[in-house]
Chains A and B, each alone.
Chain A
Amino acid sequence: MKYLDEYRDGDVAQKIVGEMRRIQTRPWVLMEVCGGQTHSIVKNGIDHLIPEGVELVHGPGCPVCVTPLEMIDKAHAIARRPNVIFCSFGDMLRVPGSEGDLFTIKSLGGDVRVVYSPLDCLKIARANPSKQVVFFAIGFETTAPANAMLAWQAHEQQVTNLSLLVSHVLVPPALEAILQADDNRVQGFLGPGHVCAVMGYREYEPISARYQVPIVVTGFEPIDILHGTLMTLQQLEEDRAVVENQYSRVLGPDGNGAAQKLVNRVFEVTDRKWRGIGMIPMSGFQLRDEFARQDAEKLFDVAEIATLEPEICISGQILRGIKKPHDCPAFGTLCTPQRPLGATMVSAEGACAAYYAYGRHLQPGKPLHQIASAETLGVPAGRGD
């Protein structure tokens, strides 16, 4: 497929990996920030292609994962109400709260609908004037413009039966929280391509300078990720620490001005709790007071719901790059996508769910390239061993 296959070329991949081997002098720990990147890494086996001393740890950029359990409980409390049509992106439906998931609520008669665009909710609200339509507005800066557009249009068009349950988070404060921790291992970041397509990457420059850490804004295809890894490696080996842009075919330094303007018009920055990590100051969006009539948290009186996470879960350490999914004794046994115990197993983009989906629980401790009888098909094994 055009514009995709070029970024999945095995020969190009081998060249990039060869260059990594050539320049690497010591082990490095890099973090890919986005869940989409994690998914692509595990799906394509990129972590088994790159040189042994380059470790990829998986970052906090999975919007469904970091949505706090109590916010999910609030969503479920609203979705259970008889007069509500609860709209959500698809992958939120399977995320369990304290009592079941949205699928369960649907099976018990709740009106739960998957939407592909937040603006679909406007149509649903108009078609069902006697119902309250609530959209679960979660995500990073990537989904903020579309969600802001929904609040804006509902407000401007005075659609009175439509509101948003907002749980928006921001990437830069999370990176700072990771870098500030005493046990931090991350030496360089593959920056979040889609987030930067909206926001640009200027706000990452002070972080890179302050913590002396390379940040390379990176795309999502295998070659993007390998290229971003190589660029980060080059900076580390040359003792440089700046923001660079691997994903220049999609974004520039300033991002999408029109989208930013709309987001700032509708949302304001607030403290947010991150599932698995905890409270990070000024790390999310909430609706401005002017949009109080679109704020489901206020309309439905669910602000008091508070829930704690199961203690066994190490997703906080996974989201900060301290541990890997298979370091957890519950991974793949007690904790599965059917019955997730914590943040990183709940969404397909979470590191634990990605490891599970691509079978990393089936042969723990044994690298895939060894069990894959890689030579059988005449394809060289990832590492030169």
Chain B
Amino acid sequence: MATKMVTKSAAVFGSCPLPIFDHQQIVLGHGSGGKLTADLIDQVFLPAFKNPILNKLDDQAVVTVGSSRLAFTTDSFVVTPIFFPGGDIGRLAVHGTVNDLAMSGARPLYLSAAFILEEGLAVDDLRRVVESMRAAAAEADVQFVTGDTKVVNRGKGDQVFITTTGIGVVEDGVNISADRARAGDQIILSGYIGDHGMAIMSQRENLEFEGAIVSDCASLHGLVASMLSTPSSRGKEFIHCLRDPTRGGAATTLNEIAKRSSVGMLLREQSIPVRESVRGACELLGLDPLYVANEGKLLAIVAPEMAPAVLRQMQQHPLGADAAIIGEVVTDHPGMVLMKTQIGGTRVLDVMFGEQLPRIC
């Protein structure tokens, strides 16, 4: 074994460092939204499915049908536990898909829902999930118009998996995509980060923190509509990019935009809103809130002259009350996100590699 390893290293050393795709099996990190997920997309999915719409790798596709521009997206939900502080898998399944539509500036219209149920799931639990899906859809003013149900053997699923697909309509003049960030643009975050991820973790791992951490899961299209309604003399193109930083957190999302737009980003650590309770829990576990998942937050890249007005508009909306400008887009270091630390140093924020793991000490 030892000989084999040494030979292997020596043989590849000095040759072109091609991307290495070592995993012969899927590991959990492939679903984390970080580097492993990106590898899987690049090396397995894109080669098979590539086309100009998919290649944009936005959270939704915007397609033109007749004279309408439709936003179209799908998302699967596999969270454990299925009920958590501030929400449940049903709410998440509605908000997640609505938000993916909203991030194109679309008005969400219709959803589908597909359920994979594990044998033995309590029907009352399913009712609770479905009821909260109904409530979340009503809040978001969308309707479920089609669906599907499958049941798998006990042990072949984890209570309930839900896939939702959504379509929405994008108004004329709205042009939002991750490749539109320009130097000088301001980076706006809609509120406190890390709430959802830490709520799930505290529940999953039975960690009891002082002051419960509650998931932020919410549908963001109302906030987006409000942002788009900011009075402007130059149409609606002032919002260049929108993303909801779910898996992989704010740092991973900003890296995706920086790479897609070939721009650099410079953040100020002190301007990034993180709740005391979330910061405390992250400190304790050795996690970084910038890489923790959110389900009700958005990052907006906005033209500099419009940024203060958009920020004010956001702060008047309940889901944007704590919004802040956290940094700006720069020409230097394209594809990289840097941050001025609280102490005055500089740090690079790379994409998350796999799952964030609690540190040993």
Contact surface of A with B, Cβ cutoff 8 Å: 1, 4-5, 8-10, 13-14, 36, 42-46, 48-49, 63-64, 73, 89-94, 98-99, 103-104, 106-108, 114, 116, 138-140, 142-143, 194, 222-223, 306-308, 310-313, 329-330, 333-334, 336-339, 341, 347-349, 356-360, 362-363, 368-369, 371-374, 376-377, 379-380, 382
Contacts and interface: CB of A to CB of B under 8 A. Distances in A.
Interface of B: 1-3, 5-6, 8-10, 12-13, 17, 20, 22-23, 25-29, 35-36, 205, 207, 264, 266, 268, 276, 279-280, 283, 285-286, 327-328, 330, 332-333, 336, 338, 340-350, 353-354, 357-361
B358 A362 contact: no
A352 B207 CA distance: 31
A338 B330 contact: no
Given A98-B5, A376-B330, A1 B10 contact: no
A308 B20 CA distance: 22
Contacts of B13: 312, 329-330, 334
Q: Which of B1, B36, B354 has the most A CB atoms < 10 Å from its CB? A: B1
A92 B360 contact: yes
B130 to A, nearest CB: 32
Contact of B348 (A307, A347, A362): A362
Nearest to B341: A44
Contacts of A358: 347-348, 350
Given A91-B359, A311-B9, A312-B9, A338 B345 contact: no
A371 B336 CA distance: 10
- Per CB-CB distance, the 3 closest pairs between chain A and chain B, nearest first, are A45-B345, A359-B348, A308-B2
A374 B5 contact: no
B79 to A, nearest CB: 17
Nearest to B1: A98
Given A89-B360, A357-B350, A334 B17 contact: yes
16 contacts: A46-B343, A94-B354, A106-B27, A143-B361, A222-B343, A223-B343, A307-B1, A307-B5, A310-B6, A312-B9, A334-B9, A338-B36, A338-B354, A339-B22, A371-B336, A373-B266
A107 B340 CA distance: 39
A308 B6 contact: yes
A139 B2 CA distance: 25
Contact of A360 (B36, B276, B348): B348
A331 B346 CA distance: 21
Given A108-B25, A330-B13, 17 more contacts: A4-B279, A8-B342, A13-B344, A44-B342, A45-B347, A91-B358, A104-B27, A107-B25, A116-B205, A140-B361, A307-B5, A310-B9, A313-B9, A334-B17, A338-B36, A341-B9, A372-B338
A373 B339 CA distance: 11
A353 B1 CA distance: 25
A142 B359 CA distance: 13
A44 B345 contact: yes
Contacts of A372: 266, 332-333, 338, 340, 346
